[in-house]
């Protein structure tokens, strides 16, 4: 992929407790891609999507806490705030102006088909409730706000999880509709980037690692908690000396998704030959994972303890972001109003 001079943008939804599946599947690849684009003379635009978060979190104290946590997580995981443009979504008024303009070019049918809304309707139907029971316009319009996030900065690439691809496609469709309407390229069509070969990291019970399954290895925990989670990884009762196919062994799948290649290889050989017990493997993994996470955890705690500095840095980021946003919005308004 040609990254030179491009703009990579992504929004981080504050979700509360994160696990190593979020780290390998979303946080790390987005930061790595961002670093690559910066090295190639392009831009990394990254923000905490705090307006999107209102939809599922209405407790002000908890909301501000998860926003803080999200910002500190990305910094701890290696986002360089001097090189990237890192800020809070709500500090950019241009995005909200953009959202209002975009609504006029967005077919209502697009929103009916957006997966988060559809899932909420399906739930209501299953419970025998009216289709739109408990559904607010924030949820319904979620993809338009996301489109504004993306289009306001002239983004080229948007690294996202598979569940967000539809939203980026809707964004490109809205931009395409505007360009077609005014017969010129007013807005840039973005492209979603997903990690094709990133295997979904399984959780301790073998299902996808997810907070809702209670099967996670936490990203920010002390060595003991990490050990407890690793020790709870499900194993079978094959004989310790039996040669095994590593692909069939959950421990190996988790190690491969997270641990350094030397350890993965050692486990692979131990399983193939037989003789390496699951308990031994778990101990090795718990130690390796705790070691790997320790510096990230430390940086995270440090940012949380000095959140004022983080806030200042986010404000600087917002200034930079607005410099990008203003001309894009002005250009769109000039086109629409023939100014």
From residue 157, how far is each of 33, 51, 178, 261, 308 by CA, in Å?
A: 10, 22, 19, 29, 31
Near ligand TRP by CB under 6 A: residue from 3, 6, 10, 152: 10
Angle between helices 307-337 and 278-305 (to 10 degrees): 80
- Phi/psi of residue 213, each to 5°? -95, -5
Near ligand TRP by CB under 6 A: residue from 13, 36, 68, 115: 13
Does 166 interact with ligand TRP (rule: CB under 6 A)?
no
In the bound state with ligand TRP, the residue whose beta carbon lies nearer, of 123 and 273, is 123
Does 328 interact with ligand TRP (rule: CB under 6 A)?
no
Using DSSP's 3-state secondary structure scheme, residue 187 falls into: coil
- Long-range contacts made by residues 102-105, C-beta under 8 angstroms, separation at least 24? 102/144, 102/147, 102/148, 102/151, 102/174, 102/178, 103/141, 103/144, 105/174, 105/177, 105/178, 105/181
Q: What DSSP state is assigned to residue 182?
A: H
Residue tagged 């925990």 (tokens):
221
In the bound state with ligand TRP, the residue whose beta carbon lies nearer, of 146 and 172, is 146
Does 21 interact with ligand TRP (rule: CB under 6 A)?
no
Cβ atoms 250, 206 nearer than 8 A:
yes
Does 158 interact with ligand TRP (rule: CB under 6 A)?
yes
d(CA 40, CA 3) in angstroms, rounded, equals 6
Does 150 interact with ligand TRP (rule: CB under 6 A)?
yes
Using DSSP's 3-state secondary structure scheme, residue 43 falls into: strand
- Phi/psi of residue 203, each to 5°? -85, -175
Candidates 10-18, 67-75, 220-228, 267-275; binding stretch for ligand TRP (CB under 6 A): 10-18
Chain residues 40-79 in contact with ligand TRP, contact rule CB under 6 A: 49, 52
In the bound state with ligand TRP, the residue whose beta carbon lies nearer, of 52 and 244, is 52
Cβ atoms 89, 51 nearer than 8 A:
yes
CB of 22 to ligand TRP, least distance (A): 10
Near ligand TRP by CB under 6 A: residue from 149, 154, 156, 268: 149
Does 164 interact with ligand TRP (rule: CB under 6 A)?
yes
CB of 208 to ligand TRP, least distance (A): 16
Does 191 interact with ligand TRP (rule: CB under 6 A)?
no
Candidates 145-153, 261-269, 298-306, 315-323; binding stretch for ligand TRP (CB under 6 A): 145-153
CB of 41 to ligand TRP, least distance (A): 22
Cβ atoms 87, 318 nearer than 8 A:
yes
Does 146 interact with ligand TRP (rule: CB under 6 A)?
yes
From residue 38, how far is each of 111, 160, 178, 185 by CA, in Å?
A: 34, 18, 29, 25
CB of 69 to ligand TRP, least distance (A): 15
Near ligand TRP by CB under 6 A: residue from 160, 249, 254, 290: 160
CB of 62 to ligand TRP, least distance (A): 18
In the bound state with ligand TRP, the residue whose beta carbon lies nearer, of 21 and 270, is 21
Q: Which residues here bind ligand TRP, judged by CB under 6 A? A: 9-11, 13, 49, 52, 146, 149-150, 158, 160, 164
């Amino acid at each position: 992929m040609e990254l030179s001079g491009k703009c990579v943008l992504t929004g981080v939804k504050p979700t509360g407790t994160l696990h190593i599946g979020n780290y390998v599947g979303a946080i790390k690849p987005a930061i790595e891609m961002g670093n690559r684009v910066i090295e190639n003379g392009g831009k990394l635009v990254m923000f905490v999507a705090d307006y999107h978060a209102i939809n599922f979190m209405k407790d002000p104290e908890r909301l501000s806490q998860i926003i803080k946590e999200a910002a500190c997580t990305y910094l701890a995981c290696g986002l360089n705030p001097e090189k990237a443009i890192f800020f809070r979504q709500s500090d950019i008024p241009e995005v909200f102006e953009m959202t209002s303009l975009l609504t006029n070019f967005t077919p209502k049918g697009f929103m009916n088909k957006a997966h988060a809304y559809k899932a909420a309707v399906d739930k209501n139907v299953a419970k025998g409730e009216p289709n739109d029971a408990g559904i607010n316009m924030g949820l319904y319009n979620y993809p338009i706000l996301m489109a504004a996030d993306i289009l306001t900065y002239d983004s080229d690439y948007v690294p996202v999880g598979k569940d967000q691809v539809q939203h980026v496609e809707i964004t490109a469709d809205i931009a395409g509709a505007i360009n077609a309407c005014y017969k010129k390229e007013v807005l840039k069509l973005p492209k979603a980037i997903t990690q094709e070969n990133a295997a979904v990291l399984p959780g301790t019970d073998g299902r996808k690692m997810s907070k809702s399954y209670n099967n996670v290895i936490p990203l920010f925990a002390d060595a003991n908690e990490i050990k407890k989670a690793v020790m709870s990884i499900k194993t079978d009762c094959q004989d310790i000396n039996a040669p095994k196919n590593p692909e069939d062994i959950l421990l190996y799948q988790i190690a491969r998704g997270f641990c350094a290649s030397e350890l993965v290889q050692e486990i692979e050989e131990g399983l193939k030959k037989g003789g390496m017990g699951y308990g031994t493997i778990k101990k090795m993994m718990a130690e390796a994972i705790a070691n790997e996470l320790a510096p990230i955890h430390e940086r995270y705690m440090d940012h949380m303890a000095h959140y004022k500095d983080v806030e200042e840095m986010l404000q600087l980021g917002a200034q930079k972001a607005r410099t990008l946003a203003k001309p894009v919005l002005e250009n769109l308004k000039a086109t629409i109003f023939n100014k």
